[in-house]
Amino acid sequence: MKSRLIYILFYYVFWLLFCVLMKPIFMLFHYKESFQYSLSEWIAVLTHGFSMDLSTSGYLSVFVALLILISSFFKSNELISKIIKVYTYVILALTSILCTSDMFLYKYWGFKIDATPLFYLKTPKDAMASGTTPEFIAAFFIIAAIFFLFFFLFKYFHSRFFDFKQSSSLTALPALLIIAVMVLLIRGGVSVSTMNVGRVYFSHSIFLNHSAINPIWNFIYSLSRNDEFATQYRFMDGSEAASRFAHMIESQNDSTSVQLLTTQRPNVIVVILESFGSGICSPLGGEKNVAPNLNRLFEEGISFTHFYANSFRTDRGLVSIFSGYPAQPTTSLMKYPNKSQNVPKFPLSMKRAGYDLSFFYGGDENFTNMRSYLITSGFEKIVSDKDFEKKDMSEKWGAYDHALFNKVSEDLKQQTLTPFMKVVLTLNSHEPFDVPVHRFEDKYLNSVAYTDSCLGVFISDLKKSKWWDNTLVILLPDHAYKHPNTLKNSDEERHRIPMIWIGGALNKTMKVDRLSSQIDLSKTLLKQLGIDASEYIFSKNIFGKDAPEFAFYAFNDGFGLITPKGISIYDCGASVPLREDDPGLTLDGKAYLQSLFDDLNKR
């Protein structure tokens, strides 16, 4: 009996050691950030994250504990020994990959790994495009080092502790008690509150809090909750949430206060600029010499100075732009075609009004279910990586942006149907920032400068074309980028982006200082075109006479709400405000997010 109980204890401690050791490895990997903190803060990461490590070890050990319980009734247990070995080696390989992926992805995403990568792995070539060859080589060696270290450790102790030569039914009861304790550890104790990331948060430093989170637990947890929209983000009684939400979007008169167009049916070109944040736009206080063309265009048309992205990834940004639908903190609407097909889309509204639609992208149109979303958005023509010559392709993502804009220019020369709308999604200012020029040492700034130069040539050529006088061009990013690096993913400035309207179809130039975001483009544009926009319940007409003024954005498991009265930034996982100028704003943000998931559940 004793030997079996010792084995269960050994197995649990084996995984506990694995979980605990991953924390200092993660911090050493991100030494530029972690070395800013004292030894006591490193120890605090271990101690505060220990409860989650206990829970994770329970998840990984409970199956083996059950096998040991079963072995109590048999004299020969060779088969069970083999099952435990295979199970352990498979889980060890998966967790080594998971923890290493967490290390590498964190510097790009700024949050601990969850189920998000599984979605992107549906198109593995694109999913891996953000990484460089040296990074993949380094990741391989780290995975191998972690795996083989614990492989030999397990093999050594398994051979010594797994020595059950006779049955021992008396083991069953204590084994059951140990399993019950494991379940309690998995749950996080006997209190009403179960294990959650808020349990390990202890610092004002997001990096230290994230370092304390067990990536295995976070991944398992995200898998268990991803599709349960009706039960996510429940902050208050449904009637209170509905009342607050109605007050936020209430508009006595959303008829437009200013008509910006010389004609009701101009041609429209929407250029979505990958990762262009306020940090590279000098009129918004950013870098002065990185994007000179964008900076110049900011002064030529209608510029929106307090405009925000609703999320931090392209798939979520596209839905916010096209559907006027807010991004979600831990999932992507584009992941669910059965739901994304049921949200409104302004390209489809324009198609019904007679517009000819086309979409241009240098990458894989199937990435993140993009194609299905574009088709249900009404696009008849979709140009993607397969439509470019090999000489135009970068090493990673797809076609270079200069080739992309050339493709659009050539298409305009062949265009016969009017009115038309063309959407252009750029690519090369995405990690790993693979561009054919070298102007800045910083890879991100260098890629932005390249795309900006391509944009400048495209707009210059467009001004000389026959289409310019009757065309509205809208420039905006899919999301921002963390520049400068001192920004946190939750910061409001991290999500601030430029939006510019230019073109011969505009009857004036002006600066718009009203708070707004990507989701407001749908109703604002449709109102200018005289097209019904009543189904866009989350979108606001920026020029509406009584339109409410705020911007809502989502980061990983959190939200930000920006209003003229102040800002609230809330970490839902930890259930703590990161910034709270007014508690009432936090309640409004919670109500907005709860109402969003109520709506998402019904789609």
- In this predicted model, what pLDDT tens digit does every residue of 403-448 receive, in sequence order? 999 999 999 999 999 999 999 999 999 988 999 999 999 999 999 9
Residues 216 and 290 in one domain: no
Pairing mode, strands 471-477 and 267-273: parallel
Confidence label for 67 from pLDDT (cuts 50, 70 and 90): very high
Give the model's pLDDT for residue 328. 94
For range 19-45, the mean pLDDT: 95
203: domain range? 2-226
Closest by CA position to 403, among listed 388, 416, 420, 414: 388
Q: Which residue has the higher pLDDT, 289 or 335?
A: 289
Give the model's pLDDT for residue 175. 78
For range 394-399, the mean pLDDT: 84
Give the model's pLDDT for residue 44. 95
Give the model's pLDDT for residue 132. 77
Residues 285 and 174 in one domain: no
CATH value at residue 378: 3.40.720.10
DSSP string, 468-525: GGGEEEEEEESS----STT--TT-GGGGEEEEEEESTTBS--EEE-S-EETTHHHHHH
43-57, 159-173, 226-240, 528-542: least confidently modelled range: 159-173
pTM of the model: 0.79
> What tokens were used for 48?
């505060």
Give the model's pLDDT for residue 74. 74
Confidence label for 116 from pLDDT (cuts 50, 70 and 90): confident
Confidence label for 202 from pLDDT (cuts 50, 70 and 90): confident
Domain count, the chain: 2
Give the model's pLDDT for residue 514. 95
Contact by Cβ (8 Å): 306, 342 = no
Number of C-alpha atoms within 13 angstroms, CB side, residue 191?
Answer: 6
Contact by Cβ (8 Å): 123, 367 = yes
pLDDT at 192 over 60: no
Residues 29 and 120 in one domain: yes
DSSP string, 79-118: HHHHHHHHHHHHHHHHHHHHHHHHHHHHHHH-S---SHHH
Distance separating alpha carbons of residues 2 and 451, to the nearest angstrom: 68
Q: What is the pLDDT of residues 563-601, one digit of tens each?
A: 999 999 999 988 999 999 999 999 999 999 999 999 998
For range 151-166, the mean pLDDT: 87
Closest by CA position to 129, among listed 372, 373, 332, 432: 432
Residues 286 and 170 in one domain: no
Confidence label for 336 from pLDDT (cuts 50, 70 and 90): confident
Give the model's pLDDT for residue 450. 98
Q: Which residue has the higher pLDDT, 396 or 364?
A: 364
For the chain, the residue count is: 603
In a domain, 476, yes or no: yes
Q: Which residue has the higher pLDDT, 274 or 105?
A: 274
Confidence label for 510 from pLDDT (cuts 50, 70 and 90): very high
Residues 313 and 209 in one domain: no
In a domain, 522, yes or no: yes
pLDDT at 112 over 90: no
In a domain, 237, yes or no: no
Residues 402 and 525 in one domain: yes
Q: What is the pLDDT of residues 520-534, one digit of tens each?
A: 999 999 999 999 999
In a domain, 231, yes or no: no
For range 336-356, the mean pLDDT: 91
Residues 53 and 123 in one domain: yes
Last residue of a domain, one of 547, 574, 595: 547
For range 240-260, the mean pLDDT: 84
In a domain, 429, yes or no: yes
Residues 102 and 145 in one domain: yes
Degrees, nearest 5: CA angle 193-195-198: 90
Mean pLDDT of the residues in the chain:
91
Residues 203 and 56 in one domain: yes
Distance separating alpha carbons of residues 292 and 282, to the nearest angstrom: 9
Residues 539 and 397 in one domain: yes
pLDDT at 308 over 90: yes
In a domain, 556, yes or no: no
Read off φ and ψ for residue 440, nearest 5 degrees: -130, 145
In a domain, 132, yes or no: yes
For a pLDDT cut of 70, what percent of the chain falls above it? 94
> What tokens were used for 137?
């080589």
pLDDT at 127 over 70: no
In a domain, 245, yes or no: no
List all residues 6 or more positions away from 155 whose beta carbon is below 8 Å from its beta carbon.
Answer: none
List all residues 6 or more positions away from 556 whose beta carbon is below 8 Å from its beta carbon.
Answer: 109, 110, 111, 114, 312, 329, 330, 489
pLDDT at 270 over 60: yes
Residues 202 and 329 in one domain: no
Location of structure tokens 């009857």: 507
Residues 6 and 149 in one domain: yes
